Amino acid sequence: MKKRFVVVIAAAFLTTVMLFDYNGRASNFRVPDFLDLKSDKEQEAGYRRQEHSYSDADSLQAFDSPEAALRFYFDTLKTASNLTERQMAALGGTIGEGLQLYEEAYRCWSEQWRRKHAYQEFLASWQGTVQVELLKLLPAGRQNGQARFFVETRHIEVTDDNPRTGIFYYTGFFVVDKTREGWRITEGGLTPQNLAWELGGHQPWRSDPVMVARIDGLGVGMEDDIGKPVVQGNPDGTVTVRFLDDGGMEKYRVVLYKPKDGMWRVLEKAGGATAT
């Protein structure tokens, strides 16, 4: 069962809700009675999900860096929207530029990835999305020789159980590589943040960058002596936790970032054991 935490602000006869979903994306919602003016048969026919097919004829612009490719991907998603007619009715009309931009976003993925994931599958993953905003894009080392990035995003989504819009925060890692088509995303995904984490009081150590660097970053316990920790703030909002030996020489280094939910994430590390 999904756990949701809702803050409701009533304005006139419409309600706007900031809703945070721990388990995943927002589900679809039912149009309220005062907007539901059609018969049952008309509703069934008129509120179907929009259909959109993919054409591989067009190609993307050339990107001069892996970061540029990833920024273009999220810039494209910012004005795309995938809403049913029922959802648009609850919002008061059309929002964004519809489904067409999802084609451009889909082409940002590598040809190999696209062969494994059909366009309709990619499109369906954004159902209920009104807007996607990229909040943070940070380098996160390399994975199998490919550039790796951490992202934090804020989404406006439509729920289906009640006429509500929700603001959701996500984090994820994306890998970008130079392919025969140019710079393309080869791997990645977004995970919803748990904005109720601090209320629950579980794993409080996740608010401490040194503890997260030890446990998630280096895979060591609190009893292991890996040196004196020194925390250094960086201009991009990350912190670097350095573990020094008795002579002041660096033994290990872990770079972390704290997104909206307050739990530190490990971006990259140098030295130490493999993270568990």
Q: Count helices and strands (H / E) in the chain.
A: 8, 10
Per the listing, tokens 């990833």 go with 70
How far is 73 from 22, CA to CA, in rounded Å? 25
Per the listing, tokens 């995938």 go with 82
Per-residue pLDDT of the chain (276 residues; tens, 9 = 90+): 444 333 333 333 333 333 333 333 433 333 333 233 333 333 333 344 455 555 554 567 789 999 999 999 999 999 999 998 888 888 888 787 889 999 999 999 999 999 999 999 999 999 999 999 999 999 999 999 999 999 999 999 998 767 688 999 999 999 999 999 999 999 999 999 999 998 888 899 999 999 999 999 999 988 899 999 999 999 999 999 999 999 999 999 999 999 999 999 999 998 744 333
pTM above 0.75, yes or no: yes
How far is 67 from 133, CA to CA, in rounded Å? 16
Is the CA virtual torsion 27, 32, 33, 35 positive or negative? negative
How far is 214 from 271, CA to CA, in rounded Å? 12
Per the listing, tokens 């991009």 go with 236
Per the listing, tokens 């603001």 go with 167
Instruction: Locate 263 and state its tokens.
Output: 């739990």
Helix ranges (H only) for 29-84 are: 40-46, 66-78
* 157 contacts 166 by C-beta, under 8 angstroms: yes
DSSP 204: G
Domain 4-195: which CATH number of 3.10.450.50, 3.30.300.30, 3.40.50.150, 3.10.20.30 = 3.10.450.50
Domain chopping of the chain, boundaries: 4-195, 199-270
Is the CA virtual torsion 3, 49, 70, 136 positive or negative? negative
